[in-house]
Chain A
Amino acid sequence: MNNLVNELNYLREMSIEMMIMVKNQHEKAKNALVEFNLDLAEEIIRTEQRVNALELSIENKCENIIALFQPVATDLRFVLSIFKFVSELERIGDHADAIAKFLLDKTEPFDKEILKALKLEEMFNETNSMFEDVILAMNENNSAPARKVFKKDKDVNKHLRTAKKTIGDELSKFHPQSNELLTLYSAEVRLERVGDLLTNVAEEIIFYLEAEIMKHQNKKKTPAKGKKLHQKPNQGN
């Protein structure tokens, strides 16, 4: 019993650590973007590797706990839910990394008016607050904070819709089909995402069959497409 309890506590520590690490990446992304701070962008890109490594560690720990201790009921749900949400966290980390990379391509800060019109800071603040909710929920074993995020997510979605409309209105001053372009672009972003997600599915199948972890590795075995790393969303956007 002691062994299992110790392992579960350690797993909890690791997952909270990862949550905090990714939240910091997310906050730095906001500040880097809004203040056009290239140093912060560099930091984010450097830390990205550690985020990936931590995800692998946590997933490994989950696998070991299940193999060695066969947890049931709450313990089992605990291990399974951490196993799932660390990959969500890792993707959030990817997004922060992608945002940082946009900045490196620019030579001057973003127009403050545009930032305001597109509600960028509001979206960052809202998602940041959602982060705080889930970290609190995990820390205190309390589901009440976790339940607050659903409404906040609706607000985030609303901001996106507002931003999209704003962009559409601006562009249609110059191009009559701008709305069509925007919508199709959004669809293609989604498709690109589908491609990334399918590579994730493939990685998991290879893991099950050959106990080989392909995530975050150089995939020398992929046919000549040349895509090396774990697929990040919205790359080069």
Chain B
Amino acid sequence: MDVLEKEIKIVKEINSQPPQDINIKVSRMNAYYGDFHALKDINLSIEYNSVMALIGPSGCGKSTFIRVLNRMNDYIDSFRMDGEVIIDHQNIYGKEVRIEQLRKQVGMVFQKPNPFPKSVYENVAYGLRIQGVKDKKFIEERVIRSLQQVTLWNEVKDNLKKNALALSGGQQQRLCIARTLAVEPSVILMDEPTSALDPIATGKIEDLITELKKEYTIVIVTHNMQQASRISDYTSFFYLGEIIETDKTLNIFTKPKIKQTERYISGYFG
């Protein structure tokens, strides 16, 4: 098949593709910190094994939104929310939901790398230990596999007992990702994972995300629009607590439907 035929086939497939199964579905969600209405009527669906990037100016609710997905906002006294959040066909705010179980399914990587002040091995094993896993062989296999997945294995395999805080920033962040992978989540949430890293480390993490999306669903908050355009499949533009536009990343960056989106991505405000 020559290139032209290939292209025609690709375009046909993209246009006729039925929407993939939805992993995360948020409907009519509102969130408040006390009286402050942080998120307004949010509706968003995220497919399995895709990367959804959330862009928008600071303080527009992106971090709040992502923390709703793994209920990390529960620790804030003044926080409340209504609406529906369904992950893997289950309402995560339902009464029968166990938060520990939810957080194994939905992992999180933070902006500033935060490895535990323990050895590299213990960092990755932590998630398993808190589940009560005792089988040493099992833990070891999981640790090795997770470190391999984040391409950190070769850099640390000679000394797994080394203190995690002695690693470089980029290595620490990959370690944090490995730590999350060890408990086999289906969703990985990333809150500006590379904003504290240098360009080389950032590039490694972006390549990693592109690799990971084959097996996991990834939701990433980023201030860096070019990052969103490089690695995401879908992009959602948040502004002042509302979603202005959500679409395939290619469309957002070539033909956004809403003027405000176009102005933001062109750098005219925010």
List residues of A whose CB falls within 8 A of some B CB: 1-4, 13-14, 17-18, 21, 50, 53-54, 57, 63-64, 67-70, 211
Contact = CB atoms under 8 A, between A and B. Distances in A.
Contact of A50 (B4, B207, B250, B253): B4
Nearest to B211: A2
A63 B7 contact: no
Given A17-B3, A53-B8, A54-B3, A67 B229 contact: yes
A68 B4 contact: no
B214 interface: no
Contact of A1 (B2, B3, B7, B203): B203
Interface in B173-190: none
A57 to B, nearest CB: 5
Interface residues of B, number: 18
B10 to A, nearest CB: 9
Nearest to B232: A68
Nearest to A56: B7
A64 B10 CA distance: 15
B229 A17 contact: no
Contacts of A54: 3-4, 7
Given A3-B230, A17-B4, A18-B3, 7 more contacts: A1-B203, A14-B3, A17-B3, A54-B4, A57-B4, A68-B230, A68-B249
B252 to A, nearest CB: 9
B37 interface: no
A68 B253 contact: yes
Contact of B2 (A4, A17, A68): A17
Nearest to A210: B255
B3 A2 contact: no
Given A53-B8, A64-B250, A64-B254, A69 B230 contact: yes
B207 A69 contact: no
B231 interface: yes
Secondary structure dominating the interface of B: helix
A4 B230 contact: yes
B203 A63 contact: no
Contacts of B2: 17
B226 interface: yes
Contact of A14 (B7, B8, B210, B249): B7
B74 to A, nearest CB: 36
A3 B231 CA distance: 8
Contacts of A21: 4
Interface in B1-55: 2-4, 7-8
Given A54-B4, A57-B4, A67-B253, A2 B207 contact: yes
Given A17-B4, A50-B4, A70-B226, A1 B249 contact: no
A16 B258 CA distance: 37
A119 to B, nearest CB: 34
B4 A67 contact: no
Contacts of A3: 210, 230-231
A13 B3 CA distance: 7
Interface string B198-228: 0000010011001000000000000000100
9 contacts: A17-B3, A18-B3, A54-B3, A64-B250, A64-B254, A67-B229, A68-B249, A68-B250, A70-B226
